[in-house]
């Protein structure tokens, strides 16, 4: 019997890189203030928490309490007035705009409360874009598959203005999912969906969490969605009241 090819020489078992032991997110003393003609407005104040890799966290609170502002700071889309956000061990304040964009492209999916789809691109092109930006050879195949997963296989060529609110929301979810990000931020991901479609999106989110270990950070008013998350963070007038 011929010798089977020798197995590759056993590499020493590497201890995981230090970054792996770090939380997905660490937030310290986070504050956001804006200057308005009528005086300074404090939107967020003294927010601190950690989120472990693979965790699922709901951020809840009344309208205007600061949830969307917090999500933007966590993803490095906006800069805090004080404090620090560390994403996968990297302090975002140490990066310039390009550096933060790279971290987002590598690690983060983001679903905006108002979707922010590009109006001049079709649904398919919107979902292909993050794959093209990171240089994937095949963007069309995975983008199409992702749109089918959210039930939009028949709407690939539609422009955002030709889609309903719930359909636009699902395109935004597909665009955020398609890169298989380590961290997914979503602002009211079921806010515009009927119960059944909302339930399907919730299942999709938690399938990503279970299968790919995606850390979920979800702003929501949906009790059903919050109940599925392992942790709930409550914001009241810009302060964390439950961690
Ligand atoms: N750039 C800004 N300039 C002035 N005020 C702002 C700015 N951004 C947010 N705010 C104010 O900060 C507060 C928090 O806004 P934010 O959008 O974070 O609330 P939210 O909790 O997401 O509310 P909702 O549930 O309605 O989406 C609001 O009162 C808002 O008017
Ligand atoms: Mg909001």
Q: Provide the H-helix boundaries in the chain.
A: 18-21, 67-74, 97-107, 123-133, 140-149, 165-177, 195-212, 223-228
* Cα distance between residue 78 and residue 32, in whole Å: 10
Residue 56 is predicted with a pLDDT of: 97
Q: Give yes or no for a contact between 174 and 54, defined as CB atoms under 8 angstroms apart.
A: no
Could you tell me the pLDDT band of residue 21, with boundaries at 50, 70 and 90? low
Is the minimum distance from the CB of 34 to ligand 1 under 6 angstroms?
Answer: yes
Q: Which range has the worst mean pLDDT, 13-17, 32-36, 56-60, 71-75?
A: 13-17
SS3 content of the chain, % helix, strand, coil (to 5): 35, 25, 40
For ligand 1, atom 30: residue with the closest CA? 64
Is the minimum distance from the CB of 68 to ligand 1 under 6 angstroms?
Answer: yes
Ligand 1 atom nearest to 66, measured from its CA:
18
Could you tell me if residue 113 is left (phi over 0), alpha (psi between -120 and 50 degrees) or otherwise beta? alpha
pLDDT tens-digit profile of 140-199?
999 999 999 999 999 999 999 999 999 999 999 999 999 999 999 999 999 988 998 899
pLDDT tens-digit profile of 204-239?
899 989 988 999 999 999 988 999 999 999 999 999
For ligand 1, atom 3: residue with the closest CA? 34
What 3-state class would DSSP assign to 68? helix
Ligand 1 atom nearest to 70, measured from its CA:
18
């Amino acid at each position: 019997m011929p010798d089977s090819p020798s197995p590759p020489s056993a590499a020493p078992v590497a201890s995981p890189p230090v970054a792996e032991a770090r939380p997905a997110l660490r937030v310290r003393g986070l504050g956001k203030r804006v200057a308005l003609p009528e005086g300074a407005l404090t939107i967020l104040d003294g927010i601190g928490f950690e989120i472990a890799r693979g965790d699922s966290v709901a951020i809840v609170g009344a309208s205007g309490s600061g949830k969307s502002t917090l999500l933007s700071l966590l993803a490095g889309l906006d800069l805090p007035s004080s404090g620090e956000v560390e994403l996968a061990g990297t302090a975002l304040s140490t990066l310039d705009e390009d550096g933060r964009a790279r971290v987002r492209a590598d690690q983060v999916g983001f679903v905006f409360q108002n979707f922010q789809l590009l109006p001049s691109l079709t649904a398919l092109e919107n979902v292909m874009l993050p794959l093209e930006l990171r240089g994937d050879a095949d963007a069309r195949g995975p983008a199409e598959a992702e749109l089918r997963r959210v039930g939009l296989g028949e709407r690939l060529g539609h422009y955002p203005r030709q889609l309903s609110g719930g359909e636009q929301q699902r395109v935004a979810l597909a665009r955020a999912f398609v890169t298989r990000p380590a961290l997914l931020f979503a602002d009211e991901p079921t806010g515009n969906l009927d119960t059944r479609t909302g339930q399907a999106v919730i299942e999709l989110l938690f399938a990503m969490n279970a299968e790919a270990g995606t850390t979920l950070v979800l702003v929501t008013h949906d009790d059903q969605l919050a109940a599925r998350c392992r942790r709930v963070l409550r914001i009241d007038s810009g302060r964390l009241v439950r961690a």
